[in-house]
Structure 1
Amino acid sequence: MASVSASHLILFIASLVIAAGVAGTFTQGVSRLSQGIDDQSLEVADEVRTDIEVISDSGSPVYNNSSKTVTLLVKNTGTSTIPADSRFIEILLDGQYRTNVTVTVVDGEQWRPNNVVRIVISNTDLSAGGDHRAKLIVNGDEEVFRFRT
């Protein structure tokens, strides 16, 4: 009888060790999943709070032929403050990604809701009399501005 009890005790301890290992693995997996969901929800919240609007007049001369620059006025119509830095604003001009961009807040020190920034895209050689498009992307929000030179 003692041998049966000892073998049952060994099987019981082995099953507890295996159950603890499986529980630890599941706990770690659930923790990683939870952290991933938290990170994703913060990114989605930033995207939802971000909204911009190009307020430049497409009929006005946004392109300066002598300095080869395009100047756009962009308003923050969202509910969050956006960094007024060209690293946070992606710009495509006629389908080409532009990195030679200067961003200046027009009415304040930060690009808060309802504030406007002036975006100057340098080294642009646009054809006269042509149709052009500038696409701005900030935190997933995209705006397209069409203009003629």
Structure 2
Amino acid sequence: MASVSASHLILFIASMVIAAGVAGTFTQGVSRLSQGIDDQSLEVSEEVRTDIEVISDAGSPVYDNSSNTVTILVKNTGTSTIPAESQFIEILLDGQYQTNVTMTVVDGDRWRPNNVVRLEIGGADLSSDDHRVKLIVNGDEEVFRFRS
């Protein structure tokens, strides 16, 4: 009878060691999954709170032939402050990525909700035709169409 108890004890200890290893693996996996969900939710929250709107009039002259500059006004209609620096906004002019961009906050020191920035896209040698500017900020996209 003692031999049966010893073998049962050995099997019990072995099953506990295996169970502890499996539980540790699951705990680690759940922890990584939880961290990933937290990171993703922060990004989604930032995207949801970001909204911009081009307020320039498409019928007004936004393109200056002499300086080859397109100037448009963009309003922050979201609930979060957006850094007023060109690396935080992606701009495509007629499908071409633009890097010669100057941003100036028109009505304040930061691009807070309801504030407006002036975007000046330099080096834009445009013909007399229909054009479009696509703006992307934190996943929010706006398209502005105009004639030069």
TM-score relative to the length of structure 1: 0.96
Q: Distance in 2 between matches of 1:141 and 1:85?
A: 16
Residues 113-128 of structure 1 correspond to what in structure 2 (within 5 A)? 113-127=113-127
Q: What amino acid maps onto 2:90 in structure 1?
A: E
SS at match of 1:109: coil
1:147 aligns with 2:146: yes
Corresponding residue of 2:135: 136
Deviation at 1:101, TM superposition (A): 1.1
How many Å apart are 1:114 and its aligned residue? 0.4
Q: CA deviation at 1:7?
A: 1.4
Aligned structure 1 segments of 4 or more residues deviating by more than 6 angstroms: none
Cα separation, 1, equivalents of 2:22 and 2:104: 56
RMSD: 0.8
Unaligned runs of 5+ in 1: none
**Structure 2: distance between partners of 1:122 and 1:17:** 68
Percent of residue pairs bearing the same amino acid type: 85
Q: Which runs of 5+ in 2 are unaligned?
A: none
2:18 paired with 1:18? yes
Q: Residue deviations 1:73-122, cap 9 Å, x none?
A: 00001111011111110111001111111111111010000000011111
Give the aligned length.
Answer: 148
**Within 1, Cα distance between the matches of 2:6 and 2:102?**
78
Deviation at 1:123, TM superposition (A): 1.0
